Amino acid sequence: MLNRTLLEQTLAPFGVAVDDTVFARLDTYAELLTETNRRFNLTAITEPDDMTVKHFADCLVLFGFAEFPQNAKVIDVGTGAGFPGLVLKLYRPDLQLTFLDSTKKKLGFIENVLSAVGLQGETVHMRAEEAGKKAQYREQFDFATARAVADLRNLSEYCLPFVKKNGLFLSMKSAAAEEEIRAAGGALRVLGGKIEQDKQFLLVENMPRRLLFVRKISQTPPKYPRPSAKIAKTPLK
């Protein structure tokens, strides 16, 4: 299913290697994704080489930039079909992954993949703005990840409440996010975050990527996150 040679070639410049055990897990994931996608929509990317690069390599490249301590607690916000959270878990089973999504079918798919490869993770069927207010999730994680097209101001309001002080929110963006990043400065200050690193790179030719490391430098005020309608209507400034 996945193109192993293409995966290894794409990841080599970033110092990320994939052994036989990891590849077998990832390939099982890809096969189940393809099979399940016929019944309900999980991804528009279905061609094996495209899936190899645009989904799997795009997530695995995180390991070339970010250092995840042993047994780190990670929440994948709006996990969808499991990118990047499920890829992180299959590559590093020691990571304590929580998969958050408001769509039960998607979480069911993630549970099926975890079961198929013999791993465990926590799935949470809840909206991010609701989960972010709950004591068992608020400021409980070393890392929050999101691979979403949402504006960084809004995404930060959903994600930063989950991150412990000194933890990181890793935001995976396209390279053309300059204005969006500039506009997010005020929102990040309000939420207790600060952009620590801004990594820009080419995943493959004509595929620029950007990875933002947002450090949680102070607690998020209790009133955040606000209801989603408010977040969308009046983004923080």
Query: Where does the pLDDT of residue 121 fall: very low under 50, low under 70, confident under 90, or very high at 90 and above?
Result: very high
Average pLDDT score over the chain: 96
Of 218, 231, 213, 217, which Cα lies nearest the Cα of 67?
213
What are the boundaries of each domain within the chain? Answer: 69-233
- Is the torsion defined by CA of 8, 10, 15, 21 positive or negative? negative
DSSP secondary structure letter of residue 227? P
What pLDDT does residue 152 have? Answer: 94
Query: Where does the pLDDT of residue 128 fall: very low under 50, low under 70, confident under 90, or very high at 90 and above?
Result: very high
Indicate the length of the chain as a whole number.
237
pLDDT of 188 strictly over 80? yes
> Is the bond into 225 cis (omega within 30 degrees of 0)?
yes
What pLDDT does residue 178 have? Answer: 84
% of the chain exceeding 70 in pLDDT: 100
Those residues with Cβ within 8 angstroms of residue 101's Cβ, 6 or more apart along the chain or in another chain? 78, 79, 80, 107, 123, 124, 125
Specify the higher pLDDT residue, 15 or 181: 15
pLDDT digits (tens, 9 = 90+) for 132-178: 999 999 999 999 999 977 899 999 999 999 999 999 999 998 776 78
What pLDDT does residue 134 have? Answer: 98
Which CATH class, in words, describes the domain spanning 69-233? alpha beta
Containing 181, the helix (H) or strand (E) segment is helix 178-183
What pLDDT does residue 173 have? Answer: 86
Query: Where does the pLDDT of residue 179 fall: very low under 50, low under 70, confident under 90, or very high at 90 and above?
Result: confident
What pLDDT does residue 148 have? Answer: 77
Q: What is the pTM of this model?
A: 0.96
pLDDT digits (tens, 9 = 90+) for 68-118: 999 999 999 999 999 999 999 999 999 999 999 999 999 999 999 999 999
Of 46-50, 177-181, 183-187, 210-214, the one with minimum mean pLDDT is 177-181
What pLDDT does residue 13 have? Answer: 97
Provide mean pLDDT across the span 8-19: 98
DSSP secondary structure letter of residue 55? I
